[in-house]
Amino acid sequence: MLDVSAVEAMLKAAFPDGTITVRDLTGTSDHFEASVVSARFEGISRVERHRMVYASLGNAMSGPIHALALKTLTPSEA
């Protein structure tokens, strides 16, 4: 299982310019909500933004993370 700080660290490594918040939705360390605000999302569709986040979490998406609700925004959208 992953805790909030581990998920946050993976996202911060992938989006060092970003503002990232992560919440454990159920208290079971497998259902999370994440908000990622990054300039890297400029000109990129929502689907591609989500793919970028999933890629940054790697194998955790097919193991310890059962569900992930995402908000992916550019700084101007935030």
CA gap 39, 24 in Å, rounded: 25
Per-residue pLDDT band for 22 (boundaries 50, 70, 90) equals: very high
Instruction: List, in sequence order, every beta strand (DSSP E) within the chain.
Output: 19-24, 31-37, 67-73
List all residues 6 or more positions away from 38 whose beta carbon is below 8 Å from its beta carbon: 15, 17, 18, 19, 72, 74, 75
CA distance 30 to 42: 29
Q: What pLDDT was estimated at residue 1?
A: 79
Percent of the chain with pLDDT over 70: 100
pLDDT grade for 18, boundaries at 50, 70 and 90? very high
Distance of CA 63 to the CA centre of its chain: 15
Give the model confidence (pLDDT) of 24-57 as tens digits.
Answer: 999 999 999 999 999 999 999 999 999 999 999 9
Write down all domains in the chain, each with its CATH number in brackets.
4-73 (3.30.300.90)
Taking Cα atoms as reference points, which of 73, 1, 4 lies closest to residue 32? 4
